[in-house]
Amino acid sequence: MTELKYEIKKNLGVIGEGTKGWKKEVNLVSWNERKPKLDIRDWDETHEKMGKGVTLNKNEVTELKKLLETVEFDEMEA
């Protein structure tokens, strides 16, 4: 199995925390030495273990921003 290489280039913030101390973070991550992408996933304290997440390129982030502007958040559960 090929080793997955990653480097967190910039931490943009934490948007949640799980019961075991893992944090759901938004980061700019370079995967396998490629151009950084926006990444949202759970990380342990040392950033050695990670959960499943989503990685978005610049165009996908732009489209997500447009979609989020249309969401009525008062209709969502807290």
Is the pLDDT score of 77 beyond 80? no
Read off φ and ψ for residue 64, nearest 5 degrees. -65, -40
Enter the DSSP assignment of 54: E
The residue behind tokens 């199995």 is 1
Q: Which residue has the higher pLDDT, 77 or 42?
A: 42
Mean pLDDT over residues 21-33, rounded?
97
Whether 37 has a pLDDT exceeding 80, the answer reads yes
Look-up: residue for tokens 């997955």? 4
- Please give the domain boundaries of the chain with CATH numbers for all domains: 6-72 (2.30.31.70)
Q: What is the pLDDT of residue 78?
A: 60
Instruction: Look at residue 75 and tell me whether its pLDDT is greater than 80.
Output: no
**Mean per-residue pLDDT of the chain:** 93
